[in-house]
Amino acid sequence: MPLLPHIHILLCTKDGEAWIFEQLNSILNQTYRKWSLWISDDGSSDATLRIVSDVISDNPERYIRLFHGPQKGCARNFLSLLIRPELAGSWIAFADQDDIWMPHKLHRAIEMIGRGTGAQIYAGRCVYINSIGKPVGVSPLHHRSHDFGNALVQNVLRGNTLVMPPAISCYLQTVFALTRELDLPFHDWCIYLAVTGVGFVIIHDEKPGVFYRQHSTNVLGASRSNVVRRAKLIYRRHYSDWIDRNVNFLGHISPFLDESNLTLLDKFVEFRKRRGPLSSSALRRLGIYRQTRTGDYILQAMSWCGRI
């Protein structure tokens, strides 16, 4: 990578007055300096917009743009930024309003993408912090491959860590321009499905680059209380509803998918129609798996209960 690329950071906000200044400050303090920041606010009713406007005024040397989001949820807000025509062919990084970036975050992502060959999308681990910024844990390592069979049943591509080169951002801009009217559950999960579906390489960095804040208003989060929330979402069939919407999304982008992944998708759809019990070994033979053996057993239990 002879020339350092310019990174467009896409940050979505809504009622984030408690955290947004700290996140903006962490972006301003990145060791990697070739970036611009595009912020889409999804209808904040608190002081978020004032804080953002003050930061823009205090940093006239930085290119920071503020947009009004579609107010149709977090996924639609992020994707409305991604598909903006001005960003065609750009390097892209995603950022959440309530996180804190470590100073090396962007520099390390660019460096790791530059080491590889072909199109690669970067994601990484996070240090969990509580609402007041105290570390409370670290996100897990992933010991299994990041393939389409994993993406069908699990999202491990954390949106708040993503960095992607133009080859991938151009593809995703096309994909999401075609599916902009769909009700997608999570933008990062759909990105995971879309990039593995065509065989792009996932970099999952073992070194954390983000402090990922855990609080009561996380969409999912990773704290113990949110694990309980996830279990309730599975029991109440929210998880199977997310899978329904993901499968619908994949149906719309099927012309882009590799033939082998199309075959796997067809098998997965047929399996879900049966909604009968299937052993974890049978799921693995299909090529469908989660990142841990425990996760496979949970997947098997969901199969037995008709919750996939």
Strands, E assignment, the chain: 7-13, 35-41, 64-68, 91-96, 100-101, 120-129, 135-138, 163-164, 201-213
Between 155 and 275, name the one with better pLDDT: 155
Cα 177 from chain centroid (whole Å): 17
Q: What is the pLDDT of residue 274?
A: 72
- Asked if the model's pLDDT at residue 229 lies above 90, the reply is no
Q: What is the pLDDT of residue 279?
A: 62
Between 274 and 217, name the one with better pLDDT: 274
How many other CB atoms are found less than 10 A from the CB of residue 77? Answer: 22
168-194: average pLDDT: 96
Reported as a pLDDT band with limits 50, 70 and 90, residue 235 is very low
Going from the C-alpha of 180 to that of each of 138, 174, 252, 263, the distances in angstroms are 34, 10, 11, 25
Q: What is the pLDDT of residue 301?
A: 79
Phi, psi of 302 (to 5 degrees): -65, -35
Query: What b/e sequence results for 134-161 when a residue is b if at least 16 CB atoms lie within 10 Å of its CB, and e otherwise?
Result: eeeeebeebebebbbbbbbbbbbbbbbb
Residues 187-199: pLDDT tens digits?
999 999 999 999 9
Sequence-ordered list of residues with C-beta below 8 angstroms from that of 83, at least 6 positions apart, any chain: 173, 176, 177, 180
Give the separation between CA 77 and CA 41, rounded to whole angstroms: 8
Give the separation between CA 60 and CA 128, rounded to whole angstroms: 32
- Asked if the model's pLDDT at residue 93 lies above 60, the reply is yes
Q: Which two tokens stand for residue 174?
A: 């096309």
Q: Which amino acid is at 278?
A: L
How many other CB atoms are found less than 10 A from the CB of residue 43? Answer: 15
Between 187 and 228, name the one with better pLDDT: 187
> For the chain, what is the mean pLDDT?
90
Indicate if the alpha-carbon torsion angle 81, 84, 86, 88 is positive or negative.
positive
**Four-point Cα dihedral 286, 289, 293, 294, nearest 10:** -120
Q: What is the pLDDT of residue 223?
A: 47
Q: What is the pLDDT of residue 95?
A: 98
- Asked if the model's pLDDT at residue 120 lies above 50, the reply is yes
Reported as a pLDDT band with limits 50, 70 and 90, residue 106 is very high
- Whether 170 and 130 have beta carbons less than 8 Å apart is answered as no
Reported as a pLDDT band with limits 50, 70 and 90, residue 302 is confident
- Whether 30 and 101 have beta carbons less than 8 Å apart is answered as yes
With 0-12 / 13-18 / 19 or more C-beta atoms within 10 angstroms meaning exposed / middle / buried, residue 170 is: middle
Give the separation between CA 308 and CA 304, rounded to whole angstroms: 9
Residues 2-14: pLDDT tens digits?
589 999 999 999 9
Q: Which two tokens stand for residue 210?
A: 């983000």
Give the separation between CA 129 and CA 211, rounded to whole angstroms: 6
- Asked if the model's pLDDT at residue 86 lies above 80, the reply is yes
213-219: average pLDDT: 67
- Asked if the model's pLDDT at residue 230 lies above 60, the reply is no
Give the separation between CA 99 and CA 210, rounded to whole angstroms: 7
Percentage, residues of the chain above pLDDT 90:
76
Residues 153-166: pLDDT tens digits?
999 999 999 999 99
